[in-house]
Amino acid sequence: MSQEIELVGKIGSMALIRREDLDIDYNIFSRLGHDLRPGMIWVSSGATEIGRLDYMRRNGGEVLHGDPEEDKSDYAAQGQSILMENYRRYIDPKYSVRQLLVEHTHFNDPVKREQIKSFLLRQPRQGAVPIINYNDPVSFEENRRMELATLRHQGMREVVECIDNDETASVIARLVRAKMLVIMTSVEGIYRDPADPSTLVGEITGRDAESVVANIRAMQRRCVGASRAGAGGARAKLEFIVDPVCAGTTVIIGHARHRLQDLVAGRVPCTRVGCW
């Protein structure tokens, strides 16, 4: 396992904004910036939602009313620069901050996949923190589905879709064989009963990868709901982390209000998944 990549992390769109104020949550960016450092890879959602809020602010509260896929692309293009501006503002200035926009085709192409892996493994030695997001402005659902269907027809066993940044983070964690994958979301972790906060699951573990996967499957049957339309929710998160867990990565799912270092150290409520 690579000793250079300590952690791959991901934060969801809804965790980066204050919904009641229709604004960015700068406290979240500040806390993340304090903890992010070389040896970490950060996958960040938020460009589309931040772009939508910025568009509304500049247009008297009006939203776009075109094709939903086109609107999403336009918002994402507007939000990308704002997203990166805030990471650059709050990450320690002695570190370089580098943006990498990825698409599903990059991971389904062996040459591009290796180029991404090589890029990411260079970053710790160069004192850089890579910030990764899916390249929404140039990806349309209809084209994506056609491309994926063609790959499956050609016999490719593992086809990456990256429809959700939870999947993107999990694919990257497996690619670089990260020690840890941290998924920051708008809840404390995985619940036996989503309606009862007291049923938070502290650990999903087992004696080997096979038993951990069996326990993940059992937990998936209890998972319902998602934080927003289009998101996969807890069930999808658990599905995406199966491959990294089988490769030896420890996964932590926790609330974005907590410090990254506290989630890693186990000082706050969260769900930890892995073999131990």
Q: What is the pLDDT of residue 229?
A: 44
Q: CATH number for the domain including 12?
A: 3.40.1160.10
Inside any domain, residue 1: no
Half-sphere exposure of 33 (CA within 13 A, CB side): 22
Q: What is the pTM of this model?
A: 0.88
Residue 225 has pLDDT above 60, yes or no: no
Inside any domain, residue 148: yes
Rounded CA separation 191/258 (Å):
18
Q: How many domains does the chain divide into?
A: 1
pLDDT tens for 32-57 read 999 999 999 999 999 999 999 999 99
Q: State the average pLDDT over residues 194-214.
A: 94
Q: State the average pLDDT over residues 204-221.
A: 94
Inside any domain, residue 2: no
Q: How confident is the model at residue 226 (pLDDT cuts 50, 70, 90)?
A: very low
pLDDT tens for 174-189 read 999 999 999 999 899 9
Q: What is the pLDDT of residue 188?
A: 95
At a CB cut-off of 8 Å and minimum separation 6, what does 46 contact?
11, 12, 13, 16, 17, 79, 83, 133
Inside any domain, residue 248: yes
Inside any domain, residue 60: yes
Inside any domain, residue 59: yes
pLDDT tens for 124-138 read 999 999 999 988 777
- Nearest Cα neighbor of 2 from 151, 178, 141, 253 is 178
Domain enclosing residue 265, as ranges: 7-275
The three-class DSSP label of residue 233 is: helix
Residue 164 has pLDDT above 90, yes or no: no
Inside any domain, residue 234: yes
Q: What is the pLDDT of residue 195?
A: 85
Inside any domain, residue 145: yes
